[in-house]
């Protein structure tokens, strides 16, 4: 199928699909809808909610909503509709709105926008979300996808986005549509194609980090005739900063990051308010992405960092009375060419703006050097509690027994919910000490409705262009509302996908995986679309001399599937499962025609 014919074919299939699903429209029970309109007067755009101007003062995340409301935030952004019932109700209780995100498939994860069936199933999922939640008073707008556009030069992606937007408008004319892109792209190709192919998208969402200071000017200079919201902003990304000699990105302190959060809002929502409708700061919470602290506005215990104070002052227009601690410097006396067993000294300069006493905690972590991509899951890095002897703002570190990169973190708390954090990387010469994989708690889910960390279905093999993995298929799941639908759309050659930890580690060079020695089997359910599909299933594919190879391998070869769900069990008794990096996988040879099969309830079990 050619791209130029896709809109016609999709339109025809769309009508058929809609006629089949309309009767299943769920009943809304939320009560009074809050109407949101996008208005334009001359060159100026505004959001009106219940007739009043609404500037988005938001964050990405779904936790600690009372704190967000207290510091002046008014909206949250999600990336999917998971758990939306409870979240919308909680947002309403805290007088917050929700930009409801609807996850769209990414080509880098194997989604094929040339596959009509997959595209229409994705559309159906989005429309089900809209029908169910359109009358909830906490809904602000519909966020269609996040960074699925890649380089932005594939019209098929934009056609799919616009079909979703146009159908949303038919169902719900009372909330705007938005799609989210990663920065503006080279030569603004993304924006030009978005404007050309997506007339039913009202608002452009832009995720911007290092380019935030110039975003407003660059966006205006493109001449695009759509307003925008900055849907992610915060510190400079780890892919944009300077690196150490050994390649570790250098992270700013939380105090330095706070300045960027504030400036980002000021230069867009304040100084370019005719085009910019507000921002969503990233991330309201914490996560491991490159490091344990790169993007989190909060610490795991809920303590707020300077980014929260910075955004609060922008949102409320006044100074925070009890500000977070401030870090002015963190330093190691040596950071390179270190040897195991040596000692180095660390010093920290930190204070509380109101003069309160502060508590300092030092944490040493392994530094894998992994730079996060697209928010993909990363496992927490190993800590070395016994290597630190601390005395307030000073600490002595005994170098662990193993070469490679490490990071020393300093956490500062004021006892009133405010905190600051900084880290400094250092490098140890010598053979890398292999880090043990953490022990898994059983049963361990690999896939159940959606893939579960730490194993990511990132290892596409063989004829990858012929592979489509739809993780939320509603085609007769074994249990729950979704299953995994796999299509190999070729008659010859072969293809397959591996679940990896971490993602894309083909050679076993990076820490990851799990200790699954307590597992006696991996179980899963499978069925074929037509019956007779032959598929092999496996674990433990990295079998080489790399330090983080799989410690065991097992396989169910050439399983012939039926059209009925069958339970399959791959016994693991007697195998050394102390490090399983490849947690699951499938492969299939071309069988003379395209094939589709389904998987569900993939898990490691002890009995």
Helix (H, G, I), strand (E, B) or coil at 90: helix
Where does residue 563 rank: exposed (0-12), middle (13-18), buried (19+ CB within 10 A)? middle
Judge whether 297 and 59 are in contact, CB under 8 Å: yes
135 CB contacts (<8 Å, ≥6 apart)?
A: 28, 30, 31, 33
Q: In this structure, which long-range contacts are made by residues 335-339, counting pairs with CB atoms below 8 Å and at least 24 apart in sequence?
A: 335/244, 335/424, 335/425, 335/426, 335/427, 336/244, 336/245, 336/246, 336/426, 336/427, 337/427, 337/429, 338/399, 338/426, 338/427, 338/428, 338/429, 339/399, 339/428, 339/429, 339/430
Whole-angstrom Cα distance, residue 472 to residue 109? 14
Whole-angstrom Cα distance, residue 290 to residue 252? 13
End-to-end CA distance of the chain: 48
**206 bridge partner residues:** 181, 230
Q: How many CB atoms lie within 10 A of CB 360?
A: 19
pLDDT < 70 regions, the chain: 1-31, 372-377, 379
Secondary element (H or E) of residue 190? helix 189-197
Please tell me what DSSP assigns to residue 270: I
SS (H, E, C) 462-478: ECHHHEEEEEEECCCCC
| 306-316 and 254-265 helices, crossing angle to 10° | 20
Return the closest-CA partner of residue 208 out of 269, 122, 120: 269
Q: How many CB atoms lie within 10 A of CB 133?
A: 22
pLDDT at 31 (0 to 100) = 59
Tokens representing 549 are 């190879």
Judge whether 145 and 180 are in contact, CB under 8 Å: yes
pLDDT at 257 (0 to 100) = 97
Judge whether 187 and 143 are in contact, CB under 8 Å: no
| 254-265 and 212-222 helices, crossing angle to 10° | 20
574 CB contacts (<8 Å, ≥6 apart)?
A: none
Helix (H, G, I), strand (E, B) or coil at 328: strand
CA 202 vs. chain centroid, Å, equals 24
371-389 as b/e: b if 16+ CB within 10 A? bbeebbbbbebbebeebbe
Tokens representing 72 are 């002046």
Judge whether 276 and 204 are in contact, CB under 8 Å: no
**Span 380-404, pLDDT tens digits:** 788 999 999 999 999 999 999 989 9
pLDDT at 17 (0 to 100) = 43
Helix (H, G, I), strand (E, B) or coil at 57: strand
Whole-model pTM over 0.85: no
Return the closest-CA partner of residue 407 out of 389, 427, 390: 427
Tokens representing 430 are 């010598």
Rg (CA), the chain: 25
């Amino acid at each position: 199928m050619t791209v130029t014919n896709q809109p016609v074919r999709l339109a025809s299939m769309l009508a058929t699909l809609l006629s089949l699903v309309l009767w299943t429209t769920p009943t809304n029970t939320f009560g009074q809808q809050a109407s949101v309109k996008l208005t334009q007067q001359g060159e100026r755009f505004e959001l009106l909610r219940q007739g009043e101007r609404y500037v988005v003062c938001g964050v990405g995340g779904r936790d600690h909503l009372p704190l967000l409301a207290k510091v002046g935030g008014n909206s949250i952004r999600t990336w999917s509709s998971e758990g939306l019932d409870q979240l919308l109700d909680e947002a309403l209780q805290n007088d917050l709105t929700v930009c409801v995100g609807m996850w769209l498939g990414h080509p880098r994860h194997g989604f094929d926008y040339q596959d009509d069936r997959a595209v229409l199933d994705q559309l159906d999922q989005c429309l089900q979300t809209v029908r169910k939640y359109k009358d909830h008073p906490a809904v602000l707008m519909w966020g269609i996808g996040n960074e699925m556009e890649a380089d932005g030069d594939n019209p098929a992606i934009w056609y799919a986005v616009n079909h979703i937007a146009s159908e949303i408008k038919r169902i719900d004319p009372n909330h705007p549509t938005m799609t989210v892109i990663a920065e503006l792209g080279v030569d603004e190709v993304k924006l030009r194609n978005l404007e050309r192919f997506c007339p039913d998208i009202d608002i452009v969402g832009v995720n911007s980090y290092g380019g935030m200071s110039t975003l407003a000017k660059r966006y205006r200079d493109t001449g695009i005739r759509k307003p925008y919201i900055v849907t992610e902003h915060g510190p400079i990304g780890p892919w944009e900063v300077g690196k150490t000699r050994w390649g570790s990105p250098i992270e700013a302190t939380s105090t330095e990051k706070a300045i960027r959060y504030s400036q980002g809002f000021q230069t867009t929502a304040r100084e370019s308010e005719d085009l910019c409708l507000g921002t969503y700061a990233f991330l309201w919470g914490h996560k491991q992405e490159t490091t344990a602290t790169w993007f989190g506005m909060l610490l795991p215990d809920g303590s707020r960092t300077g980014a929260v104070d910075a955004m609060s002052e922008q949102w409320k227009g006044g100074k925070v009375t009890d500000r977070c601690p401030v870090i002015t410097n963190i330093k190691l006396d040596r950071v390179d060419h270190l040897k195991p067993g040596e000692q180095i000294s660390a010093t920290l300069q930190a204070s509380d703006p109101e003069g309160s006493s502060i508590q300092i905690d030092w944490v040493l972590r392994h530094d894998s050097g992994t730079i996060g991509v697209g928010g993909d899951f990363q496992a927490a890095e190993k800590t070395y509690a016994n290597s630190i002897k601390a005395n307030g703002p000073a600490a002595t570190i005994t170098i662990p027994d193993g070469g490679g990169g490490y990071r020393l973190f300093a956490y500062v708390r004021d006892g009133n919910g405010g905190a600051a954090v900084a880290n400094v990387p250092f490098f140890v010469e010598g053979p890398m000490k292999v880090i043990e994989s953490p022990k898994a708690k059983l049963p361990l889910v690999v896939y159940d409705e959606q893939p579960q960390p730490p194993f990511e279905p990132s290892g596409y093999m063989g004829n990858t262009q012929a592979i489509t993995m739809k993780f939320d298929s509603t085609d007769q799941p074994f249990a729950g509302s979704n299953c995994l639908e796999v299509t190999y759309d070729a008659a010859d050659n072969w293809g397959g996908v591996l679940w990896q930890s971490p993602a894309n580690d083909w050679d076993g060079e990076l820490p990851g995986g799990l200790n699954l020695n307590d597992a006696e089997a991996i179980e899963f359910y499978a069925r074929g679309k037509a019956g007779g599909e032959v598929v092999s299933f496996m674990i433990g594919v990295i079998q080489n001399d790399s330090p983080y190879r799989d410690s065991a391998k097992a396989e169910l070869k050439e399983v012939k599937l039926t059209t009925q769900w069958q339970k399959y069990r791959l016994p693991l008794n007697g195998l050394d499962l102390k490090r399983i990096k490849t947690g699951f996988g499938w492969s299939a040879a071309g069988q003379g025609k395209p094939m589709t099969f389904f998987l569900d309830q993939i898990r490691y079990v002890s009995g």
